[in-house]
Structures are given as structure tokens and as C-alpha cells.
Amino acid sequence: MKSFGPTPALRGADITVAAGEVVAVMGPSGSGKSTLLHCLAGILLPDSGEVWFDGQRIDSLPEPARSQLRRARFGFVFQFGQLVPELPALENVMLPLLLAGHRIRPARAVASTLLDRLEMSGLQRRRPGELSGGQAQRIAVARALVAQPTVIFADEPTGSLDTLAGEMVMDLLVDRARDQGASVVLVTHDARVASFADRVVVVRDGVASALAAA
């Protein structure tokens, strides 16, 4: 459970996500989808209940340990990108690798490959303020994937994208799940996006329930 002051945001969720599985979280606006995602990623702490990852309970870890876990094992696509405004697109994507101690040249090569995959190679030197919302979202997706995380959390990853770009992003997320065994948990309002998932979880009034495979 998770509340903000007297207002309950998440009343109950019992979710297990397997390695290599893509799970879509759907539900009306304000139902608790993003709160669930943030609790699973260790960004928010639940008021009650437990969150486990790889045999370790993470909601009881101190913030520095949770931050290190997110940096080393998790990738996160925020709903509104949250890119570093001072850095050009390529350096935004490279950032997780540089923070992990990777050398600049190989980090640049990996980031460039991802940008090519998302048809963003011509925008590497542009800063976030010089990008459209859809372009910035694709940069955020590349940044989330660049360190090959074990779990990818994505909050409306295609919300700013047209149909073709959205399918490109979803193909990339699914490929990461299939080829690298990454778990993908994504929030979406779009049934077409949910159709890429192996399973759908619906959140209504703060309560999560699983549906059959998508």
C-alpha cells in the first residue's frame, strides 16, 4: 500500500515479473499505475508490503543502496523524459555508462548504436530544449537501455510518439527482453502498446489485478 497524506494511491498489488517477460500496466488516469511502477523500482517506498528483486528485499534498503541498484541494474523511462538539459542527446544517453565508470569512447559507440536504432543519429548534438517531445522521449528510451539493465521500467514510453516511432520503441524493448533476458514493466494507456506485452496488469482505484496473456 502507498498513500500520499490521507489519499491512498495504491491499495494492493501482488505482482511477480519473470526474467525476459514484458508486462504492461494499464488503467484509468489516477488509478495508481505510476505509483506502482515507482514502488517496484525503489523510487517510492510502500507504506506496507514488500518489494523484492533478485532475492533481496529492496524497500528496506537505505536510499544510497537503492540508488546504486537503480543505477546498476534498472533502467527507467520517465513519463516526461527528465533528460539533463545542459547535455546534448548523445551525452544524455552515455551518462549511465559514464557514471558506472566506462571509458568515453566505448560508451559513445554503444550510445550511438542505440540512437541509430531509434533513427536519432542526426540529432546527437542537440540539447533537450532543441528536441521535440517525441525526439526527447526516444533519447530517454536509449538512455534507459544503454547499460543493458536487468529490469526496464517505462512510464508511458510511447506517449509522445507517433505510431511508427512507438512501434520502433516497443520492438526495441521487446528485443531486449527476448535477447538479453531483461524484464520490462511498462505503463500505458494504449492497447496497441499493451499488445506487445506477454501479460497485462490492470490497476483500478489503487488495486492491481492480472489479466490473461496479451
Tell me the mean pLDDT in the region 22-48. 92
Pick from 73, 31, 4: nearest CA to 204: 31
DSSP 16: -
Percentage above 70 pLDDT, the chain: 97
CATH number belonging to domain 2-210: 3.40.50.300
CA dihedral of 206, 212, 213, 214, whole degrees rounded to 10: -70
Residue 149: HSE in the Cβ half-sphere, 13 Å Cα cutoff: 28
Task: Dig out the grid coordinates for 196 from the structure.
Answer: 506487445
Residue-wise pLDDT for 59-70, tens only, equals 999 999 999 999
Determine the 3-state secondary structure of 61 from DSSP. Answer: coil
For the packed helices 133-145 and 89-99, what is the interaxial angle rounded to 10 degrees?
A: 20
pLDDT band at 81 (very low <50, low <70, confident <90, very high): low
In this prediction, residue 211 has a pLDDT band, given cuts at 50, 70 and 90, of low
Using the predicted structure, report yes or no on whether residue 178 has a pLDDT greater than 70.
yes
Q: What is the pLDDT of residue 171?
A: 93
What are the residue ranges of helices labelled H in 81-162?
Answer: 89-99, 104-117, 133-145
Q: When comparing pLDDT for 213 and 149, which is higher?
A: 149
How high is the pLDDT of residue 96?
93
Give all strands (DSSP E) within 82-198, no chain letters: 151-155, 183-187
Beta bridge partners of 185: 23, 153
pLDDT score, position 203 = 93
**What is the enclosing helix (H) or strand (E) of 92?**
helix 89-99
Answer whether 138's CB lies under 8 Å from 153's CB: no
pLDDT (0 to 100) of residue 104: 95
Reply yes or no on whether the pLDDT at 23 is more than 80: yes
Rounded CA separation 118/124 (Å):
12
